Structure 1
């Protein structure tokens, strides 16, 4: 029979070995798949915030049920639980039948913008979406360009979508977003910046490349940086720019519609061309998934901007499920191939491991 002190030493050794294996696995996972780690951390944070809010509000919820029961028992008066002195009044939208001239600027709050959208995440082929949208909207030209004819667009918007191996997501996004942008009376075009090859994904550099190529097409004045898997839930989330950088995707379903942290700037964001130039674009140093949005937030604040966000539930989004693959890290330069599709311009980018001078970007 093994002596007691030997058993204790053996158990201690096994415990240390287990902790070492666990920490090593965690570090490898964080390095090889940071996107999954970030997403999991954000989800845990959002759940924690939601639980704390529920605990904090449980007294008010009990009071509400008691008062509701009292007022519903033999009285003609109802009690309004939605009164709030701190909330701003909802913006006023134009009434049905409002008319404007082709020589006038398009209104920002049209009656066709009704609010809550039906989000259809069922898979569909790109060809079916192209046929359907072009059949209903013959004004869309090659490359996905569209411009309202009944008024002057307030913004010329380039939608930049970083892309890799998401062929089932792109037609879902186009089917959902094109009609919304038309209702908002924005001049727009989609630029899908696809990273080819097998090198690690660099979302930030794809945005920078997309910006450079889009500006060769047209003198755009508003840039929307849009993940392919984000679908807005409210068409009053206006995709024009403002005098401050805009964060559109404030409440994501996979984060329980909670903002993971105040500096969160991911998913869908917008800047004017002037703002984008002032902050010197996205950082090129982030390879793999994650990190570039936090750096962009810092750049925005170093340039003395503040980030604006939609009111209330206008910033809600649904996320199409997907899986980030592990990505290692390196620095590189790019070459590209440009082609036009009926609903978007495709920019295929190939990265290499050769270090590129900053001036190239």
Structure 2
């Protein structure tokens, strides 16, 4: 009897789909592509009036000495006004770059910065995106009144792109300059809100939780890619990122699980302080072994990362807007 009922149901379902396939397809498209709540738009975040209390005030030793006794910069207005920056002329023109030091370093001259940040950008064969990023990010960051330096880590060889390994390499060079805070940054993401301070919080922070590609919704609560900030000592404590993920995908989920394994939670700012736009680009080929590496990641956290990093330095060059590290993976 039950078997007959199942058969009847299946026959009727097939008949319905054949007769109403267009309406059904439109409905599914609406649910997947249009419905604004299809993702996880609600998530715990640091309220704007609490952001300053969550920031870690720490600079490199040379900045601490250079600005000793000077009045500290005020960040209240930067956060509260939260100026929308992704517009002309900030997008297309580098505004008065004379104060940017060789290697892509900048610090305010009128007040003592409370924060020093190394922005690590991983990259290969996206010249137009890199040019657009460097122009905009310098216009953006100088308005935040922080001390920062841009490191561009380029994969020189033609092996599948290894994003995570390049971040590990970036850690090595940023550490040489004693930066206490790291921003791990994809070259195709542009911050839109000035109140999204490029500094470290008490917990590692997922900075791009409101991305236009996903209609400014958080895709899933464990997402920890695109742009993240983390204390240098925390990055070292968790052994950095895996060196195994060659090709697109998986490395940021593995990164998140490393933090969870060490019982380290992440945080976010609210959507109005976390908006990013993504530049158009061709996606890298998927990592063939990403599922397998994710499934056994816990077995490798202590042996696969900074302590197993192997690469060859092809060249290190100081450009006007960035420190360029050319690496063979």
Answer yes or no: is 1:104 the counterpart of 2:71.
Answer: yes
Distance 1:269 1:88, change over 3 A: closer
What's the counterpart of residue 117 of structure 1? Answer: 85
**TM-score with structure 1 length normalisation?**
0.65
Corresponding pairs, count? 262
Q: How does 1:227-238 map to 2 (within 5 A)?
A: 227-238=186-197
How far 1:237 moved relative to its partner?
0.6
How far 1:347 moved relative to its partner?
0.5
- Structure 1 stretch displaced more, 104-113 or 204-213: 104-113
How far 1:141 moved relative to its partner?
1.0
Answer yes or no: is 1:192 the counterpart of 2:170.
Answer: no
Answer yes or no: is 1:315 the counterpart of 2:283.
Answer: no
What's the counterpart of residue 334 of structure 1? Answer: 311
How far 1:214 moved relative to its partner?
2.0
Distance 1:235 1:47, change over 3 A: farther
How far 1:172 moved relative to its partner?
1.0
What's the counterpart of residue 117 of structure 2? Answer: 157
Whether the aligned pair in 2 keeps the contact of 1:46 and 1:259 (CA below 8 Å) is no
**TM-score with structure 2 length normalisation?**
0.71
Whether the aligned pair in 1 keeps the contact of 2:48 and 2:269 (CA below 8 Å) is no
Choose which of 131, 139, 145 in structure 2 pairs with 1:179: 139
Distance, in Å, in 1 between the alignment partners of 2:249 and 2:45 is 33
How far 1:326 moved relative to its partner?
2.4
Residue 91 of structure 1 aligns to a residue in which SS? helix
Unaligned runs of 5+ in 1: 1-43, 55-85, 95-100, 352-361
What's the counterpart of residue 243 of structure 2? Answer: 284
Cα-to-partner distance string for 1:134-161 (whole Å, 9 max, x where unaligned): xx14221110111112222222110000
How far 1:117 moved relative to its partner?
2.1
Distance 1:208 1:111, change over 3 A: closer
Whether the aligned pair in 2 keeps the contact of 1:119 and 1:231 (CA below 8 Å) is no
Distance, in Å, in 2 between the alignment partners of 1:223 and 1:292 is 17
Distance, in Å, in 2 between the alignment partners of 1:327 and 1:51 is 28
Residue 159 of structure 1 aligns to a residue in which SS? strand
Whether the aligned pair in 2 keeps the contact of 1:102 and 1:150 (CA below 8 Å) is no
> What is the RMSD computed on CA atoms of the aligned residues?
3.3
Distance 1:179 1:272, change over 3 A: same
Residue 53 of structure 1 aligns to a residue in which SS? coil
Choose which of 140, 161, 181 in structure 2 pairs with 1:222: 181
Choose which of 48, 53, 69 in structure 1 pairs with 2:37: 53
Whether the aligned pair in 2 keeps the contact of 1:110 and 1:184 (CA below 8 Å) is no
How far 1:192 moved relative to its partner?
0.4
Unaligned runs of 5+ in 2: 1-27, 39-43, 53-67, 290-303
Distance 1:123 1:49, change over 3 A: closer
How far 1:277 moved relative to its partner?
1.3
